Amino acid sequence: MKTGAIHIEDDELELYCLGRATSSELAPIERHLLNCPVCLNRAQAALEYIDTLRAALLRLESEMGCPADHTGLRRADPEAPGWLTRFPGE
């Protein structure tokens, strides 16, 4: 997270939600998410969007009978560092 930033940058939040933030980026992002409801809501919306896109690609893949390349839309691994992807019901 950029020093002095009021909110997490869109690109940083996207990488975090996709599980692609570096280990050095995780702690500052998660600390910010604990204290910023605006960014937490943005992160939750991003995760919902990722899930929606992934589901649509899987449905298209099934209907077309050919594999779609949706590797960039994989949700973060629940076992990976990061608490946001481990909400109840996930």
Tell me, yes or no, if the pTM score tops 0.95.
no
What does the pLDDT look like over 73-90, one tens digit per residue? Answer: 555 554 554 545 444 444
Quote the mean pLDDT of the chain.
Answer: 77
- Residue 68's pLDDT is what? 54
Q: Give the residue-averaged pLDDT of 9-22.
A: 92
What does the pLDDT look like over 32-75, one tens digit per residue? Answer: 999 999 999 999 999 999 888 888 888 877 777 766 555 555 55
- Residue 55's pLDDT is what? 85
Q: What is the DSSP string of 70-86?
A: -GGGPPPPTTSS-SGGG
SS3 39: helix
> What is the sign of the dihedral through the CA atoms of 15, 19, 24 and 25?
positive
Domain residue spans of the chain: 10-77
- Residue 85's pLDDT is what? 47
